[in-house]
């Protein structure tokens, strides 16, 4: 009887945990909607210090929570100083890359992540170089995502947009893209 109670409690905790994850996901999606107006982004990301709170969700095992976090970050980084804070002053880009590697099979995560990368690399050479630094840079990941999700036009669009931004600012990326057979 004690084990039945323990199992019921464990199941109740798992159900509550799932409910809390869904609640966090919905709160993030609401925050994304609020961040659609640029005048609110500075208040939300900077003033309310939500940038770092949203960023912590990138390490989650739940792909829906990661997708929602990426969507909020994508809206936040349209402001130049938020973009710099996320990409250069913190480990935000590294966390986003790690989240992409972890959830590469989830189309919604790939789309939001490459949308974030496209926004980050727009007219930002240091960010493009940092994003493609190392053997598992954004170009290598983009090529893998393009191969895995070739039937998904929304992913293709964001991924190619990111590749274009990075290639226009980083010579190593141009060489890596040319050497791959992805566009042949």
pLDDT surpassing 50 at residue 8: no
Tell me what pLDDT residue 5 has.
35
Mean pLDDT, residues 8-19 = 59
DSSP class of 184: -
Distances (CA, A) of 102 to 67, 76, 122: 12, 23, 25
pLDDT surpassing 70 at residue 12: no
- Ranges 24-33, 66-75, 85-94: which has the least confidence: 85-94
Three-state secondary structure readout of 59-106: HCCCHHHHHHHHHHHHHHCCCHHHHHHHHCCCCHHHHHHHHHHHCCCC
Longest Cα separation, the chain: 67
Mean pLDDT, residues 23-32 = 94
pLDDT surpassing 50 at residue 7: no
Tell me the pLDDT tens digit for each residue of 60-85: 999 999 999 999 999 999 998 999 99
Global confidence as pTM: 0.86
Q: Residue 184's pLDDT band (boundaries 50, 70, 90)?
A: low
Of 75, 79, 155, the closest CA to residue 111 belongs to 155
Q: What is the dihedral of CA 90, 93, 99, 105, to 10 degrees?
A: 170
């Amino acid at each position: 009887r004690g084990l039945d109670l323990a199992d019921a409690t464990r199941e109740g905790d798992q159900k509550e945990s799932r409910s809390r994850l869904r609640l966090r996901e919905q709160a993030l999606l609401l925050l994304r909607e609020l961040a659609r107006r640029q005048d609110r982004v500075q208040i939300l990301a900077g003033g309310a210090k939500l940038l770092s709170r949203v960023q912590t969700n990138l390490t989650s095992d739940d792909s829906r929570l990661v997708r929602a976090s990426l969507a909020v970050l994508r809206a936040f980084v349209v402001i130049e100083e938020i973009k710099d804070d996320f990409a250069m002053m913190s480990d935000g880009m590294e966390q986003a890359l790690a989240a992409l590697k972890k959830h590469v099979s989830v189309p919604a995560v790939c789309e939001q992540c490459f949308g974030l990368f496209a926004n980050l690399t727009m007219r930002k050479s240091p960010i493009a170089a940092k994003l493609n630094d190392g053997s598992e840079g954004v170009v290598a990941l983009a090529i893998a995502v393009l191969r895995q999700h070739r039937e998904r036009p929304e992913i293709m669009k964001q991924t190619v947009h990111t590749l274009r931004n990075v290639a226009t600012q980083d010579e190593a990326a141009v060489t890596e893209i040319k050497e791959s057979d992805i566009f042949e």
